Copies of this chain bind each other. A is one copy, B any other.
Amino acid sequence: MEEKDTSRLEAFSDGVFAVAITLLVLNIKIPGLELPADKLLPDDGGDSLWQALLDEWPMLVAYGTSFATIGVMWLNHHRLYKHIHRTDTILILLNLLLLALIVFIPVPTALLAKYLERPDLHTAALLYSGTNIFMAICFNLLWRYASYGNRLLGKNVDMRSVAAINQQYLFGPLLYVIAFAFGLFSAPACIIVNFILALFFALPGRPLRALPEKVQPAEDEGA
Q: Are B15 and A114 in contact (CB under 8 A)?
A: no
Partner of A99, one of B21, B41, B92: B21
A8: CB under 8 A from chain B? yes
Q: Are A107 and B30 in contact (CB under 8 A)?
A: yes
* A22 neighbours in B (Cβ, 8 Å): 16, 19-20, 23, 103
Partner of A15, one of B14, B89, B96, B107: B14
Q: Are A37 and B93 in contact (CB under 8 A)?
A: no
* A167 neighbours in B (Cβ, 8 Å): none
The segment out of A44-52, A149-157, A169-177, A209-217 that lies at the interface is: A44-52
Interchain CA distance A198-B119 in the complex, whole Å? 42
Q: Are A25 and B103 in contact (CB under 8 A)?
A: yes
Q: How many residues of A contact B (CB 8 A)?
A: 69
Q: Are A46 and B114 in contact (CB under 8 A)?
A: no
Q: Are B30 and A122 in contact (CB under 8 A)?
A: no
Q: Are A110 and B30 in contact (CB under 8 A)?
A: yes
A17: CB under 8 A from chain B? yes
Partner of A46, one of B23, B30, B119: B119
Q: Are B104 and A33 in contact (CB under 8 A)?
A: no
* A31 neighbours in B (Cβ, 8 Å): 111
Q: Are A19 and B19 in contact (CB under 8 A)?
A: yes
Q: Which residues of A from 151 to 199 have beta carbons under 8 Å from B? A: none
Distance in angstroms from A127 CB to nearest chain B CB is: 7
Q: Are B203 and A89 in contact (CB under 8 A)?
A: yes
Q: Are B120 and A43 in contact (CB under 8 A)?
A: yes
Q: Are A120 and B46 in contact (CB under 8 A)?
A: yes
Tell which of A1, A16, A28, A99 has the most Cβ of chain B within 10 Å. A16
Q: Are A118 and B43 in contact (CB under 8 A)?
A: yes
Q: Are B110 and A40 in contact (CB under 8 A)?
A: no
A219: CB under 8 A from chain B? no
Chain A residues at the B interface, C-beta cutoff of 8 Å: 1, 3, 8-12, 14-26, 28, 30-33, 37, 40-41, 43, 45-46, 48-50, 53, 63-64, 67-68, 71, 74-75, 78, 81, 89, 92-93, 96, 99-100, 103-104, 106-107, 110-111, 114-115, 117-120, 122-124, 127, 202-204
